[in-house]
Amino acid sequence: MKRTLTILGLCLSAVLSACWVSRSAVQQGQRADTTPVRAPTVASAQGGAATRETVAAAQAFLATLDDAGRAKIGFPFDSAQKSKWSNFPVGVYPRNGVRWGDLSPAQRDAALKLLSVALSKQGLQKVREIMEGDEVLRASETGHDGPRGEGVGRRGPSFGRDEYYLALLGAPSLTDPWMIQFGGHHLAINLTIVGKDQVLTPSLPAAQPATYELDGQAVRPLGRERDESFGLINSLDAAQQKKAILPYQVSNLVLGPGQDGRTVAPEGIKASDLNDAQQRMLLDLVHEWVGIVNEAAAAAKMAEVGANLPETWFAWSGPTTNDGSAYFRIQGPTLWIEYSPQPSRGSSGPDVNHVHTIYRDPTNDYGARLLKR
């Protein structure tokens, strides 16, 4: 009898153990959403001062608005407004917030001050060059006032530096989460601030024309991105290029607007297969996007990108000569960058003078990771 009970006990314990192990396995197998390849390091900005400056500038800007202006600019932090951004021109894709062209000179100065503390010097310059490029587009034949413009009485795209909108989600705060959203045609800046941490993803800097002349000077809002990427691809040897260059064309952004929270399987060459100099070139290229935000937040993000560098991929599609039109992508556990030349009217295929890019963090878009803490 005792022997039977012992055998039954051992069998029962084995069955229970098997059930438990199986259940644990299923629970672990069904991970929520897109867990990165490696546990990301936390990008904690050394930027308490940056947040204080940004909050002060936001409050100063709000003080220049009347009640109607404040009603237009303000949204709850967790509202659907968060993901309402696009590369499309206003008119095709309406924006919310206060319109740049409707601001008085004093209000515009205050708004610029806010952007200047939220972004780095080169980041603000990039934003202004994108806006000025749209002003050039407005005056061109495809613009609002051009022969292919919307015309009277028709809904259509609106171009130009006035057609950019500033919105604030949540109240500017040193502790509670809030967000600055600024954008229009070919531009979406989404800066989420949670305490001392600041996150610029997702953001979309783009340009058309990608090269234009202003006051006798050639302006290339995304010129460094292009030059550095061609420098990197041409620094690779034949074996490395074979890994990095995708044997197919990529005609558009894969994870552009509306694709929040998604991660596609990586391709290309792993940064661990690059030498030290090439890795530095890759980091410099990444910094063109990361460095749009203020220096403290950018430094924290670059530290994170550097820590995850061995798991970061670089992929290229298109010609490798700098007069060509090529797509590239940089993908890491906490990073997603795409650069995609687009067709223009009259062009056959992707046009070097019309470029879309996207900058994401699949684990931290809109500060998602910070908000889980």
Contacts with other proteins by CB under 8 A lie at 2-3, 6, 9-10, 12-14, 16-18, 20-22, 24-26, 28-34, 80, 83-88, 92-94, 155-157, 246-254, 256-259, 262-265, 267, 342-345, 356
Nearer Cβ to other proteins (17/234): 17
- CA-closest candidate to residue 37, choices 333, 361, 367, 337: 333
Angle between the N-to-C axes of helices 48-63 and 105-118, in degrees from 0 to 180, rounded to the nearest 10? 170
**How near is the Cβ of 325 to other proteins at its closest, in Å?**
14
Nearer Cβ to other proteins (194/330): 330
Q: Please count the CA atoms within 13 angstroms of the CA of 125 that sit on its side-chain side.
A: 11
**How near is the Cβ of 13 to other proteins at its closest, in Å?**
3
Nearer Cβ to other proteins (224/262): 262
Asked whether the beta carbons of 135 and 16 are under 8 A apart, the reply is no
Nearer Cβ to other proteins (85/100): 85
Distance (Å, whole) CA 210 – CA 176: 38
Nearer Cβ to other proteins (13/275): 13
Nearer Cβ to other proteins (25/214): 25
**How near is the Cβ of 39 to other proteins at its closest, in Å?**
14
Is residue 317 helix, strand or coil? strand
210: left (phi over 0), alpha (psi -120 to 50) or beta: alpha
Is residue 21 helix, strand or coil? helix
**How near is the Cβ of 257 to other proteins at its closest, in Å?**
4
**How near is the Cβ of 30 to other proteins at its closest, in Å?**
5
DSSP state of 36: -
Kindly state the tokens that stand for 138: 């407005």
Is residue 273 helix, strand or coil? helix
**How near is the Cβ of 107 to other proteins at its closest, in Å?**
27
